[in-house]
Amino acid sequence: MTKGQIRQSLSGYYDVVTEDGAEYRTRARGNFRKKKQTPLVGDFVEFKADKVDEGYILEIYPRKNQLIRPPMANIDTAIVVTACVEPDFSSNLLDRQLVMLEANQVSPVLYFSKFDLLDETKAKKITEIVEYYRQFYPVYLGGLPADQNVLTEMLANLHQQVIVVMGQTGAGKSTLLNQLKPNLNLATGEISKALSRGRHTTRKVSLLPIGDNLLADTPGFSSFELLDIDKESLPLLFPDFTVLQAGCKFRGCLHINEPKCAVKEAVLSEKILPSRYDNYKHFYEAIINQKPKYR
């Protein structure tokens, strides 16, 4: 048996690459269907192959995380593309994405796009927001397309990572993906969205080499619901809150109704962005009010 990583899935076939760079085309054994397991791009697997195009996956190693759309496993980093304008900047959506990434053990890298389209007043406001997030996450700021120097700097800090690009509709995910891997030729803009409606597309996901990293060839995370997060875990997913947690009077403080809460004090003294705390309260309310899930 040989160990490798699934780099592409297509029509029931899985292309697996071993540590020494050899590639095998494999299929999954029937017992995976009985166990209701489906191999995913990014999975580390044990397989057996007598020929390079006739292999069988025998075991899937435990995953650290997985996505529904696109179907992938073991993601290390997500480049979150957030528009400064067109569409307007949404702190709620950005924080929702960051919470979901933290919950799934995916490291966020933030790219604020379309900064060049802002007037002086709006640019000043966005810059203040960007500088706040820069305290806790790697942050890059620029136009669309992105400046090549910015992309070079971004990738220089990423090594041996499985990377997805994600973000709101219209922020420029496909444009950034095309810049990171020019031979992708992904369609961009409203015209491509109109053309793709109703068209049959082959469900294919690939991991493509980019430096010493692997880049998913399709934008990730189309759903940003805060499912499977409980109210006790939520504050731990805000790094700007966790650095203050020890200053709260009560252990396990939820930063909502408790007295002598260091987080609420930091909001009042403007050390925490008010929008950040407002979003936290919004997520907290959504979690405590969601209907129980029965499985």
Which residue, 165, 159, 162, is CA-closest to 179? 165
User: CA-to-CA distance for 26 and 3, rounded, in angstroms?
Assistant: 12
Quote the tokens at residue 170: 């219209």
* Cα separation, 166 vs 152, whole angstroms: 19
Domain 72-216 has CATH 3.40.50.300: yes
According to the annotation, is 172 in a ligand binding site? yes
> Binding site annotation covers 42?
no
What does the alpha-carbon distance between residue 233 and residue 115 come to, in Å, rounded to a whole number?
34
CATH number of 234-289, picked from 3.40.50.10130, 1.10.260.40, 1.10.340.30, 1.10.40.50: 1.10.40.50
**Is there a binding annotation on residue 261?**
yes
Please indicate if the annotation marks 4 as binding a ligand: no
- Residue bearing tokens 């129980």: 292
Residue at 199: amino acid letter: R
Q: Determine if residue 253 is labeled as part of a ligand binding site.
A: yes
Is 171 annotated to bind a ligand? Reply is: yes
The answer to whether 175 is a known ligand-binding residue is: yes
| 40 CB burial (10 A radius; 0-12, 13-18, 19+) | buried
Q: Is 84 annotated as a binding residue?
A: no
| Residue among 74, 10, 71 at smallest CA distance from 45 | 74
Phi, psi of 83, deg, nearest 5: -75, 135
Q: Is the pTM of this model over 0.85?
A: yes
- Which DSSP state fits 61? P
DSSP string, 140-183: EE--SSPPHHHHHHHHHT--S-EEEEEESTTS-HHHHHHHHSGG
Class of the CATH-defined domain 2-62: mainly beta
Flag whether 50 is marked binding: no
**Residue 192 in marked binding region:** no
Q: Is 116 marked as binding a ligand? A: yes
Kindly list the domain boundaries of the chain, sorted by start residue: 2-62, 72-216, 234-289
Residue 168 among known ligand-binding residues: yes
- What is the chain's pLDDT, residue by residue, as a tens digit (295 residues)? 899 999 999 989 999 999 999 999 999 988 888 888 999 999 999 999 999 999 999 999 999 999 887 889 999 999 999 999 999 999 999 999 999 999 999 999 999 999 999 999 999 999 999 999 999 999 999 998 999 999 999 999 999 999 999 988 889 998 999 999 888 777 665 434 444 444 434 467 899 999 999 999 888 776 667 778 999 999 999 999 999 999 999 999 999 999 999 999 999 999 999 999 999 999 999 999 987 666 5
